[in-house]
Each structure stands twice: as structure tokens, then as C-alpha cells.
Amino acid sequence: MALKIYNTRTRSKERFESLHPNVVRLYTCGLTVYSQMHIGHARTYLFWDFLRRYLEYRYYQVISVVNYTDIDDRIMGRADDETGCVDLAESIIASFRRDCRALRIKDYSAYTRATDYIDAQVSAVAALIERGHAYVVDGEVFYSVESFPRYGQLSGMCVHQQQAGASGRLSEDASRKRNPADFTLWKPSGEGQPSWSTGQPTWPSGRPGWHIECTVMATALLGEKFDIHGGAIDNLFPHHENEIAQAEPLCGSPWVRYWMHPEHLDLRGEKMSKSLGNVVAIPELLAQFGYDEVRWFLASTHYRTKLQFSPDLVAAAAEGYKKITRLFRRLESRLEALPDDQLNVPIAGDYATLRDEPECLPRDRHRLVHGQYGEASTRFIDRFIAACDDDLGTPTATAAVFDYVNELNAGGIDVCEDAPSLLAVYRTLARHLHVLGIEYPNERLYPELAVDCQPLAEASSEQGGADVAIDRLVALRQAARKAKQFDRADQLRDVLSEIGVSVEDTPDGPRWSVDA
């Protein structure tokens, strides 16, 4: 079996092949931090969480980056001054991290702020001007879409179909542009607004446009070529189209191998959005439903299909989900009552002995198929993998979970006295619910899985900067060296080299530095 994902750029499902074996580099557009995350956002971020979890299930090491847009007209519109912009952004970032933890969204490798990459953005804008892709008018820098022949390839939009200001991000005077579709790379700041010096005589100070921020942050952390770039469907045009136009003159083509875009969540037939005022905040949602019920409801619809939201629909999904939790809790209760020696017995006949495709197995290789329910577990795992391999088909995967539970109930699981069989079923359910983001950490019954569950302790908004992402890559490489997986260690060194990091192996461990 092979994982296939829908690539927006080619408008087709493609076999997924990462640039480096067993390593996936993923960038997802994050929050513009002027108001709190709502369930519409959560659908998108929970999908990226599922994607990361499934890639890890398939043995990939995922290096994931999400950004905060912390300089934006809407932030300035809600803040009184430059200090107020910073305070507002920090409060929304802290709220976002709390909401992600409450939904059990695993930490990204790196969380980046646009304002931390101003110098790199200035350098990128200057390079685009030098190469003839941008021009300056009254201190404002515009990108010339006609300078990039492939403009519109991602979205299918032609230049003549596009309207000025389609991004809704920066007020632009169309009369000063060469083409109405040209977009802002750099903009002078007004009085009292955040501003940065550029050292450039014709555009001496100001702030970046939205599109250049993501392009620069993604490239700085993941290299000039990486695997997956994602964002909600409304990021497709103009944001992602503009990102390609900026990046490929500087990094070559293709900048990104796969583009992915989850669809909107609708409330009473309207897209849920802050601008429409029809949002449901995460604390409000979780006051009514468990995080697992929310995730189960969202998984019931494919990520590329619009999802209708209402509390009644969530409640209906939660009612069906209770059949799974009831069986799981009964198994857990019975197993917890057993002495340790019955939980540590060898379990013969693991999944690896039944299949010739080890890349399809759970990455911890735990023995999940055994005894009385081995055939049922095998069928379930096959169906679950096949569903997820087909463009992350969560509706079919959740249906497989239901059918597995029904088969176990019909097969007398509640009167089974064979401890290894019960333990194998428990772990099979726990492992695959974990992929869907529903976590049952139990260090006694499944220690290998418990260590991978998302902690609920509040994270600092500062956690996960560029250094954290590099530290993780270096640690993965060191672990590969210790395991004598030297090919894998070399692959990780290549990834580090692509993002400008050198590693020196010393008797005290590896040391890394950013290349000058």
C-alpha cells in the first residue's frame, strides 16, 4: 500500500514521496493573532494534527512549522499603539496554545512569529526587486505578477481574473500599480504604527506584506525545497499563489512538492469566520462536549468536503462514539484488575508476521494482533490503513473503528478470559484512536503509547522557536547514529545542511551552528 494525497497544484491524488526518505517537512499557515481561535480554525489545525500523527504512524519523522502573523492591519485596528499590538498578539498566542492543548493538538516542531524574521523579509524583498520581480512606488514595494509566467498555476486563476486587494490584508492604491493584480511586499507604516528600518533608500522603513512573511519563515526553517505546505482553502488564493510567485524566483521550482487545503466549516450555510461574527470559541465548545467527541465529529467528514456545524450534529456524532468508549473503558477496567505478570506475557503472532509491508505498521511495532481476535484485528488494521492511505480518508477510518467494535462485541469480548487477547485488542484500539487524536494514556497497559500522548500542561507561548526545531533534528540524527542507522543519520544531516546548519560531532555530543 502507498499513501496518496490530493495535491492542489496538480489537482490530482499523488503517491506521497518525501524529498528525504523517512523525513517530512511541513509548513502550515497559522493564526493572524487579532482574535481567538474558533471551531472553524480548529477544523483546519486538527486536520494537520491528524496528518502529522498518521505520517508518524507510517515511520516518518515530521518536522512541522506553524506561524503567527503578528503584524497585520487588523491587529493594528484593535490595538491603540505599537505596544498594544505586541500585548494583543501575545495574549492571543497564549490563548491559541491553551486551546490547542485542550484539543490535544500535538506541539509543532517550531512556532514562528513574522516579526522575528523582518531582516530576512527585507533581504527577500530586495532580491525580488533586483531580479525584476518587484518595483517601488512612493516607498511601497509591489510584486509584479506579470514577471512570473507560472502565476495562477496553483489556483487556476489567470491574471486578468484577479482583483486588487483580494487578500483583504493591506489597503492598496490600485492606481499606483502596474497591474491591478500586483500585491504588496512592503508598505510604509503610518504614525504610531509598528515600523522597521530596511536600510534601503527608496523604501527606508515600514512593515512587511502578509505573503512575504510566510514565504520567508517557511524557507528559513525548512529549506529552499520542502514537502508539504498547507492552509485552509481560503489561503489558496491569493496567499499561496503569491507565496509561490515570491519563492520560486529565489528558490527554484517547485518550491513545495505538495499543497494541501482543508475546506471550510459552515454554520447555518455560511462559512464560519470572525468577520461574519458567527464563530464558536473553543472554550465555549468544550464546555458542551469532550475534546474526543469534537475530534470524532470532525473526522466524520473528509477534509476536502465542507462540513456543516451545529451542536446537534456534534451531539449526534458523540452519541455514536459512546459505543467505542464504553467498550474501551470496559477493557481498561478488566485489564487494570490483572496482576502485572499477566500484562507482561509475550504476545506471539504480531502484525509484522502477517504482512510483507512493514512501512504500513504502527511505528512502535507493538504486537497488536493475537489470539481469539487476531483475524478481526488484522481486518481492522488493513481497513484503517487503506482508508488513511486514500487521501487521509477519516470517514472510512472511523467507520472501520465502528465495525471493529461491533465485531468485538458480537464475538463475546466481554466474556473473554484470555488476558493476552484482551490486551492486544485494547492496544489495537488505543493505537488507532491515537492516530485520530483521541488519546488514552495508560502507562501500565500501553507504556509505549503513553509517552507519545500530548501533555495538558500549559505551554509557554515562546516554546518552539527556530532553535527548538534544529535541536529536534540534531537529536533525531544523534539517535540514528546510536542505533547505527547511518544512512538515516546522513539524510538528517542533509536536511540540516539545506537550512544552513552545520553539525560537529564531538566526544560530548553533537554541536550545531548556523552557517554564516
* Residue located via cell numbers 466481554: 414
Cell of 56: 508518524
Task: Give the rounded distance of the alpha carbon of 243 from its chain centre.
Answer: 18
Residue 255 within any structural domain of the chain: yes
| Res 369: pLDDT | 58
Contact predicate 423/416, CB 8 Å: no
| Res 459: pLDDT | 44
Domain boundary residue, one of 401, 418, 450? 450
The reply to whether 259 and 306 lie within a common domain is: no
Domain boundary residue, one of 423, 450, 477? 450
| Res 455: pLDDT | 63
The reply to whether 267 and 294 lie within a common domain is: no
The reply to whether 139 and 248 lie within a common domain is: yes
Cell of 317: 456524532
The reply to whether 142 and 236 lie within a common domain is: yes
The reply to whether 55 and 199 lie within a common domain is: yes
Residue 482 within any structural domain of the chain: yes
| Res 354: pLDDT | 36
Print the domain residue range for 319. Answer: 290-450
| Res 467: pLDDT | 66
The reply to whether 379 and 475 lie within a common domain is: no
Residue 452: name the closest of 463, 465, 466, 442 by CA: 442
Contact predicate 143/186, CB 8 Å: no
| Res 374: pLDDT | 86
Give the whole-angstrom CA distance, residue 333 versus residue 180: 65
Residue 283 within any structural domain of the chain: no
Burial of 190 (0-12, 13-18, 19+ CB in 10 A): exposed
Give the whole-angstrom CA distance, residue 62 versus residue 64: 6
Q: How many residues does the chain have?
A: 516
Mutual angle of helices 291-299 and 39-57, in 10-degree steps: 80
Domain boundary residue, one of 403, 424, 450? 450
Contact predicate 260/5, CB 8 Å: yes
Structural domains in the chain (count)? 3
Give the whole-angstrom CA distance, residue 226 versus residue 241: 16
The reply to whether 379 and 508 lie within a common domain is: no
Output the DSSP codes for 421-457: HHHHHHHHHHHHHHHTT-----TTT-HHHHTTSPP-S
| Res 173: pLDDT | 61
The reply to whether 294 and 391 lie within a common domain is: yes
pLDDT means per 10 residues, the chain with 516 residues, are 94 97 94 90 97 93 93 80 75 91 94 94 98 97 97 86 52 76 95 92 96 96 96 97 98 97 85 70 95 97 96 95 95 92 59 40 49 88 95 98 96 90 91 93 81 59 56 79 80 79 87 78
The reply to whether 139 and 65 lie within a common domain is: yes
